[in-house]
């Protein structure tokens, strides 16, 4: 099978990026758009849940520490949606307890900040079946 070109690794995949740090949000957004993803961003947990309920994305890149509703509560809520998206939680918190809790809630990947964008893209490609 021919390898996909660099720009097409996430072509037409809908990705929601949720982070209250504008620099992190922007970096992930630009990296995913460069891969052909259709991105949407928001900076708080309540908005993330609302977006996922109204128009579920294929993937959610979710910060753990968010205003209005924590990443854990967002994860719990969106994994109950009938067509639940793949969820990658990104956090600066290295505690194993948090990772285990996220895994119990159904997180698909748990990544520590600073997130290596190439790793994020490769993982997204694997999880979304675009490789």
CB 88 within 8 Å of CB 123: yes
- Is the model's pLDDT at 7 over the cut of 60? no
Prediction pTM value: 0.93
Q: Where are the domains of the chain?
A: 11-123
**pLDDT at residue 93, rounded to an integer:** 86
Q: Where are the alpha helices (DSSP H) in 58-116?
A: 71-78, 96-104
Q: Which CATH superfamily is domain 11-123 in?
A: Response regulator (3.40.50.2300)
The residues near 43 (Cβ < 8 Å, ≥ 6 apart) are 18, 19, 20, 22, 25, 66, 67
Which candidate, 15, 68, 78, 25, places its Cα nearest to that of 44?
68
Tens digits of residue pLDDT in 66-119: 999 999 999 999 999 988 999 999 999 888 999 999 999 999 999 999 999 999
CB 87 within 8 Å of CB 42: no
């Amino acid at each position: 099978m021919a390898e996909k070109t660099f720009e097409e690794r996430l072509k037409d995949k809908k990705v929601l990026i949720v982070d209250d740090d504008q620099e992190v949000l922007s970096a992930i957004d630009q990296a995913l758009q460069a891969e052909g993803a259709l991105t949407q961003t928001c900076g708080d947990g309540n908005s993330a849940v609302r977006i996922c309920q109204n128009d579920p994305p294929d993937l959610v890149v979710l910060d753990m520490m968010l205003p209005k509703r924590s990443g854990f509560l967002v994860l719990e809520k969106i994994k109950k949606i009938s067509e639940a998206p793949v969820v990658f939680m990104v956090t600066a918190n290295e505690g194993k307890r948090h990772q285990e809790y996220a895994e119990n809630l159904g997180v698909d990947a748990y990544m520590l900040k600073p997130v290596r964008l190439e790793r994020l893209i490769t993982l997204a490609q694997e999880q979304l079946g675009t490789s």
